Amino acid sequence: MSAVLKPASRPVSSRRLDHAAICVSAACLAHCLAVPILLVLAPWLSLGALGEEWLHLTMVVLIVPLSLIAFRLGYRRNAPRRVLVPGLTGLTLVVLAAVLEATHAVGHDLAAGMTSVGGVALIIGHWRNLRSGSCVGLHS
């Protein structure tokens, strides 16, 4: 008996959405980690656009639709809880952090922490979504 993994027929657009969502989430995470490090290491450096509120809101505007579409397509395949729990948790944290920071309900440090945790959760969700469609299962 031999086990063979058979590739699933998965729409190319679904894979591209997951890849795009992973890239945007990773860029958001890199931004959230880089800004505090740059502030500590180089306080004389003007951050310009990196510290601007419009950039945070733009990232959220990109992340939300990409993620929701990718997770919806993933939900129709298999392992929805495995994908949706980290994905929607991450999406909620990212949106909540942006809203709370924009309304000055929380400081930048807490918002950056929430966004970083949310970004990691989003990446995990998209990675699982991407991997859930890569094989149908074991066949003997």
For 42-54, how does the pLDDT look when each residue is reduced to its tens digit (9 = 90+)? 444 444 555 567 7
- Residue 28, φ and ψ in degrees, nearest 5: -65, -45
- Tell me, yes or no, whether 99 lies in a domain: yes
For 85, the domain range is 11-130
pLDDT in tens, 50-83: 556 777 788 888 889 888 888 887 777 666 788 8
In a domain, 4, yes or no: no
Q: Record the pTM.
A: 0.63
Mind listing the pLDDT tens digit for each residue in 13-30?
A: 777 888 888 888 787 777
Instruction: Confirm whether 21 is domain-assigned.
Output: yes
- 43 in a domain, yes or no? yes
Q: Which residues pair with 30 in a beta bridge?
A: none
